[in-house]
């Protein structure tokens, strides 16, 4: 940040009094512009042991498959964000189950929070951010065409949990690479 979003004055980057790391701060109006991780909320939508994936119609990772998920908005709960993203990308209104996967990616300051959910009346379609939306059995998952390593991690875990017929909350710390999940 170069200029204060509150008053327009040039910001400086230094450790504020009582803090322990440098921040962008404005000496004109006194505001400290904190930057914190972003939360990506989404759903692992199941239907008869098949999982709903969306083929991305947007960059990054255009044309690769992902779970319906996206950046949380202000004023939302994580569950609301997960359902909204699932509607926007997969035109599905699943019934939420438990929080299933929390992935921290400190290198890019992101936290994924994915819920387990069950498809409602098998209705889904492609939203504007998806080229295609479909259910995959575990054998059909396009492992070489997944958009993100977090998606891959989640589907690997899902495969194990479906085999055990037991789901629990998983927390993963992951260093996402800048290229696709293939690498």
Q: Point out which residues bind Zn ion (CB under 5 A).
A: 4, 6-7, 9, 26, 28-29
Asked whether the beta carbons of 97 and 115 are under 8 A apart, the reply is yes
Residue 4 neighbours by CB distance under 10 Å: 20
Q: How far is the CB of 22 from Zn ion (least distance, A)?
A: 17
Yes or no: say if 151 and 176 are a contact pair by the CB < 8 Å rule: no
CB nearer to Zn ion: pick between 26 and 90: 26
State which residue, 6 or 77, has the beta carbon closest to Zn ion.
Answer: 6
CB of 14 to Zn ion, least distance (A): 15
Pair 149, 66: CB distance under 8 Å: no
Q: Which residues contact 120 (CB under 8 A, 6 or more apart)?
A: 92, 93, 94, 95
Residue 35 Cβ vs Zn ion, minimum distance, rounded to whole Å: 16
Q: Whose Cβ is closer to Zn ion: residue 30's or residue 60's? A: 30
């Amino acid at each position: 940040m170069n200029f204060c979003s509150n008053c327009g004055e040039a910001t400086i980057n230094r450790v504020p009094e009582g803090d322990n790391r440098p921040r962008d701060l404005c000496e004109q109006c006194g505001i400290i512009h904190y930057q914190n991780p972003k939360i990506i909320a989404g759903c692992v939508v199941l239907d008869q042991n098949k999982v709903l994936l969306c083929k991305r119609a947007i960059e990054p990772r255009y044309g690769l498959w992902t779970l319906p998920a996206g950046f949380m908005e202000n004023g939302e709960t994580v569950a609301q964000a997960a359902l909204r993203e699932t509607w926007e990308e997969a035109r599905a209104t699943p019934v939420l189950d438990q929080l299933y996967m929390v992935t921290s990616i400190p290198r890019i300051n992101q936290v994924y929070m994915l819920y387990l959910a069950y498809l409602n009346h098998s209705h889904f379609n492609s939203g504007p951010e998806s080229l295609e939306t479909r259910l995959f059995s575990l054998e059909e998952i396009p492992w070489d065409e997944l958009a993100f390593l977090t998606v891959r991690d989640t589907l690997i875990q899902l495969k194990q949990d479906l085999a055990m017929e037991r789901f629990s909350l998983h927390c993963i710390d992951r260093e996402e690479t800048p290229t696709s999940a293939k690498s």
